[in-house]
Amino acid sequence: MAFSQRQLSLFTPRTLRDALGLSFTYREQVRWLIGTSSLLASTYTHVPREAHIVDARGLDDFRACAIGDEQHVRFGAFATEDSLRGHPMLGQTVFAAASAALYLAVSEADVEIVSLGRTRTTPIDALVLAPHEAPLAIDLRRLEDDIYVQRRRTIRDGSASHDLILGANFRVGQDGVLARVRVALSIDGGKPVRARLAEHHLEGERLSSDRTATAARLCAEAISPQDARTAAAARSALTLSLALFREARDRCDKMIRSRRPDPPRRATSSRRKRNRR
């Protein structure tokens, strides 16, 4: 079904295939009307009047329930958190975190995107969407070598208070070197901001006091200077990052120790006597 007037075209596709067809036909002029994705901290509720608007709010594909096991699960990018909490893996990972969007931002996950009449997949930590694109689904994987650590603090800034959450995912190699590091922070439930310089500083290295001190400073610098909450948030982010990296270091050390084989048990005196006979 389509509704048109001067400089406005509104389409309400009945199937995902119809929506893909509209995306192919109108290309970069398409804008999506879907709703709010709390999982990606993205909103598709306002569109320009001069665009070709695809109203996908009635398509279940964007809000699909979780399908998968305790290692790999797929769900709609606009699925409600209440509809996903019952899944065992998501309950132990995404919804055990202080922020679902922050957990996903640093996780091992891919996002399927509707773009120019087809779908493409990109890692969630590299997700950048053009105005004519829309996220369709999320594929999340759970790996045994990954460690997720988070810290949360309420910031007092005069009469106002703000909620700061810092989350990080570390993949620990067999030798203790960090094979993958993702760090992000969020203020007042806003879109997660990646601390990419801190990630680069830690990746390929072992967690040490010197490295984590520099990484904590880089986390604080990831907060935009245009943000009115910057000064208070940056001060808290510095100390919060130090505490987070300290916990991550302890957990990495524990994981490395658990991988080491048990030393051979020494023979008792009675066993030695029997062996001599």
Going from the C-alpha of 9 to that of each of 49, 88, 130, the distances in angstroms are 8, 42, 20
Lowest-pLDDT range, 8-12, 35-39, 168-172? 8-12
Higher pLDDT, 192 or 235: 192
Residue 158 has pLDDT above 90, yes or no: no
Task: Count other C-beta atoms under 10 Å from residue 105's C-beta.
Answer: 26
pLDDT tens sequence across 53-65: 999 999 999 999 9
Looking at residue 84, the DSSP 8-state letter turns out to be H
**Mean pLDDT for the stretch of residues 163-190:** 91
- Classify strands 52-55 and 8-11 as parallel, antiparallel or unpaired: parallel
**Mean pLDDT for the stretch of residues 81-95:** 92
Q: What is the pLDDT of residue 271?
A: 57
Q: What is the pLDDT of residue 156?
A: 78
What predicted TM-score, i.e. pTM, was given to this entire model?
Answer: 0.84
| 3-class SS of residue 90 | helix
d(CA 182, CA 196): 8
Q: Which two tokens stand for residue 103?
A: 């957990």
Give the DSSP per-residue string, 133-190: -EEEEEEEE--TTEEEEEEEEEEEETTEEEEEEEEEEEEE-TTS-EEEEEEEEEETT-
Residue 262 has pLDDT above 70, yes or no: no
Letter for the amino acid at 20? L
Q: What is the pLDDT of residue 276?
A: 58
Q: How far is CA 266 from the centre of its chain?
A: 47
Q: What is the pLDDT of residue 166?
A: 94
First to last CA, the chain: 93
Residue 137 has pLDDT above 80, yes or no: yes
Specify the CATH number of the domain 2-141. 3.30.465
Is residue 158 left, alpha or beta, with left meaning phi > 0 and alpha meaning psi from -120 to 50?
left
d(CA 187, CA 203): 25
**Mean pLDDT for the stretch of residues 200-208:** 93
Which residue, among 174, 239, 172, has the nearest Cα to 203 in the 3D structure?
A: 172
Give the DSSP per-residue string, 31-61: EEE-EEETTTTEEE----TTSEEEE-TT-GG
Lowest-pLDDT range, 58-62, 64-68, 171-175? 171-175
Q: What is the pLDDT of residue 226?
A: 66
d(CA 164, CA 239): 12
Task: Count other C-beta atoms under 10 Å from residue 263's C-beta.
Answer: 6
Residue 224 has pLDDT above 80, yes or no: no
Letter for the amino acid at 70? E
Q: Which two tokens stand for residue 57?
A: 């709010």
Phi, psi of 32 (to 5 degrees): -105, 140
Please say whether the structural domain 146-259 has been given the CATH code 3.50.50.60.
no
Domain edges within the chain: 2-141, 146-259
Q: What is the pLDDT of residue 230?
A: 65
